[in-house]
Amino acid sequence: MSRIVGHVAELHRFPVKSMAGEKLTVAEVDWQGIEGDRQYAFVRTANGTRFPWMTARQVPAMLLHKAHFAEPGRPKASAVLVETPDGAVLSLHDPQLRAHLETAAREPAHLIQVARGVYDSMPISLQTTGNHARVETVHGCTVDPRRFRANVILDSDLDASEWQGLRLAFGDRDDGAVVHCADPIARCMLVTIDPDTAAKEPKILRTLVQRFGNAYGLYAAPARPGLIRLGDAARVMD
């Protein structure tokens, strides 16, 4: 049995880890996650830890760089273009872009491509409009959902955590994706960075920690490859 718990309101893909991404009308889910998501990352060359990535932690302005695939339907083969905060459009492989990030971070970096995606934990992140509205109510003002970099936002009054351990199926066609819902997503200082200005607002993370157990959204993993389309019904499979 299954029941509809919401409809897909937004789809997002982030070609480069920690840069702004692109909105999709259709997301292709393979066994590694959404095709093209976090396919590239800048690595702090001298960092030998388990988290060597150069992110907005070191360079907040990375979030102001907008990355997109030149051929959206071929993310594994397509070139990636990056619109910089000053409006220039560069190849992701342009040495000027890397040099700019190195200067901002004050350390050397290099670019890598990982077809399966460079994820902190699990490959797909979900959130509902209802849960986000509750965060805004407690916080006392509007909060830009882009701060949380969710892949799939469902128009639903429910809390995504209600589906932990269950499968979520999308659409009513045979090619619809199914994901297995896992753990709530613990948040870090990245959510404090304004996606339009890179200014920091620590109170947002404080609200999540003190009132929501530092959880926003839900991790998921592919259970059946397929497509997720804007407007698709999302069904919990009991």
User: Any idea where the domains of the chain sit in the sequence?
Assistant: 2-237
d(CA 191, CA 114): 24
Distance of CA 175 to the CA centre of its chain: 23
- How many CA atoms are closer than 13 Å to the CA of 197, on its beta-carbon side? 6
d(CA 181, CA 200): 31
> pLDDT tens digit string along 121-176?
999 999 999 999 999 999 999 999 999 999 999 999 999 999 999 999 999 999 99
pLDDT(1) > 90: no
Instruction: State how beta strands 233-237 and 178-186 pair.
Output: unpaired
Interacting residues of 88 by C-beta distance below 8 A, sequence separation 6+: none
φ/ψ of 189, rounded to 5, equals -65, -15
Interacting residues of 52 by C-beta distance below 8 A, sequence separation 6+: 43, 44
The model's confidence at residue 102, banded by pLDDT at 50, 70 and 90, is very high
Interacting residues of 48 by C-beta distance below 8 A, sequence separation 6+: none
The model's confidence at residue 25, banded by pLDDT at 50, 70 and 90, is very high
> pLDDT tens digit string along 226-236?
999 999 999 99
Q: Kindly tell me the sign of the dihedral angle through the C-alpha atoms of 37, 178, 181, 221.
A: negative
> How does the average pLDDT of the chain come out, rounded?
97
In the chain, % of residues over pLDDT 90: 97
Average pLDDT, integer, range 61-74:
96
Spatial CA neighbour of 81 closest among 95, 66, 96:
66
Q: What is the pLDDT of residue 63?
A: 98
Q: What is the pLDDT of residue 134?
A: 98
CATH match of 2-237 with 2.40.33.20: yes
d(CA 136, CA 158): 15
Q: What is the pLDDT of residue 178?
A: 98
Q: 10 Å Cβ neighbour count for 233?
A: 16
The model's confidence at residue 212, banded by pLDDT at 50, 70 and 90, is very high
Q: What is the pLDDT of residue 43?
A: 98
Q: What is the pLDDT of residue 238?
A: 78
> pLDDT tens digit string along 36-51?
999 999 999 999 999 9
SS3 147: helix
d(CA 77, CA 194): 31
pTM equals 0.95
Average pLDDT, integer, range 189-196:
97
